[in-house]
A and B are shown apart, each in its own frame.
Chain A
Amino acid sequence: MKYSALSLLRAGLGGHKDWPRAWRDPEPKSHYDVILIGGGGHGLTTAFYLAAAHGVKNVAVLERSWIGGGNTGRNTTIVRSNYRLPQLHALMELSLKRWEGMSDEINYNVMFSQRGALFLGHSDSDMLQLAQKGDAMRADGIDAELMTRDQVARLIPLLDVSAGARYPVQGGLIQRRGGTARHDAVAWGYARAADRLGVDIIQNCEVTGMDITSGRITGVQTTRGAIGADRVGIAVAGNSGRVAAMADLKLPIESHLLQAFVSEPVKPMIDTVIMTQSLHCYISQSDKGEIVLGGDPDAYPTYSQRGAPHIIEKAAAEALALVPALSRLRMLRSWAGTTDMSFDGSPFIDATPVEGLYFNGGWCYGGFKATPGSGWLFAHLLARGESHPVAAPFRLDRFETGHTMDEPGVGPMPQNR
């Protein structure tokens, strides 16, 4: 059923009792053209674009628990394309353009809100760096505006821009097309849209092994039996190393964790995404009214999805210094996601040495914003067997060949991100 104002009205008159389920709950078939391991945003968008853009409809998404229960539901929902390097501009802007048409494309309101994503500058060198980044973005056709301190103060009246502020604000760089989206809706919307095109979304189905015969993948072993496939895509960020190990592959990835936390809901007080990279703290307000806060990764390998309090304390202290009005808010909950930390901070969308097995991962703590672009590019790779030009630089062997993409400019160690 197509969601519309009319369908809402009709269901409302019937007391909302007759909504059909949003996607089927199929039994796995014995064979698929393409199997995607991982039912998060990236796996679901890949499945959707395989069916919608490439006509490959005999596709299954295998999810070990429920869809969107991993990092898709654990991020701070920020969407932006304000990067420094041209390869990342191409990738993230392709993604941002898909965000702009997403709700129409999948007939599901993902509540994408282009409220502006602002990087604060706290020093002369910050402002120089932001000006360089803004120039680089505009040169690649992406919107960016350098702002003075007064402009920032007018945009965010609650920000402490006084001379005595703990973190003095000199100005900022805003991408007005950046913003936030409803993260769960992205998983649900793409699942529903892919399902309507014939994709099987199979939850509670954990992949436990891969069937590889003379260097070629023929299928996967799962907790619901063996399933054959011509091609298999891995999109399990956080657990990439564990899944790749089933094919005897070692990846340039460590699994770390990133925490986030939210306050009790309050009336609208911050209508922009505030970020600061020299402090590393980001602040936004959800549509429910919660203040959403995030900070540094915990910076050591862990699968625990459970972070240390001193990291939260640092992010909270920075947020309070920037927006003193937050001081009376009580925090409702905190959580952590397992992040695929690559060695240069950039992701991988590439074939693996096993024929028919493809890999998408290494998104560090920035995968949510890339969700539709990642799916678009991974679907291209899975359907055609060759990389889309935008995905071509994101190779698995780029460290061996010296073609790293060190966006933050901090060298090849994941804990430095």
Chain B
Amino acid sequence: MMLIPCPHCGPRAHAEFTFDRPVEAITRPDDTADALVRNLFSRDNPRGHSRELWRHTYGCRAWIALTRDTATHAITDVQAWGAKA
């Protein structure tokens, strides 16, 4: 069980959060078709540091960006995410 430091709510149980995707897989409306396919459907899938988009679904419902180690689950950075962040 991870303790995830929500930038809006403070440290909260992992069960309140849902993973969405690695930041590398975020797509934009002006992406080319090639970039869209590449970003959606291929992954670095690192063992180690990964920067990821999560959502505090069962809390404040905000999107947040975590830097997390996929082998140890250590969270080294967390930031608010989105237009008003």
Contacts and interface: CB of A to CB of B under 8 A. Distances in A.
A301 B70 contact: yes
Contacts of B21: 413, 415
Interface string B27-67: 00000000001001111111100101010000000000000
A303 B71 contact: yes
Interface in A48-97: none
Given A308-B2, A413-B21, A415-B19, A301 B45 contact: yes
B44 A250 contact: yes
A298 B22 CA distance: 16
Contact of A343 (B15, B19, B41, B70): B41
Nearest to A404: B41
B72 interface: yes
A340 to B, nearest CB: 9
Contacts of A254: 22, 43, 45
Given A303-B71, A304-B72, A252 B47 contact: no
Contacts of A385: none
Given A299-B18, A308-B1, A308-B14, A251 B47 contact: no
Which applies to chain B's interface (DSSP): helix, strand, loop or mixed?
Answer: mixed
B37 A400 contact: yes
A399 interface: yes
Contact of B45 (A241, A304, A309): A241
A184 B3 CA distance: 35
Given A301-B19, A308-B1, A399 B43 contact: no
A114 to B, nearest CB: 36
B8 interface: no
Interface of A: 239-242, 245, 250-255, 299-304, 306, 308-310, 343, 399-400, 412-413, 415
Given A302-B70, A415-B21, 5 more contacts: A251-B42, A302-B71, A303-B47, A304-B71, A308-B15
The 3 A-B pairs at the shortest CB distance, nearest first, are namely A241-B45, A300-B19, A399-B41
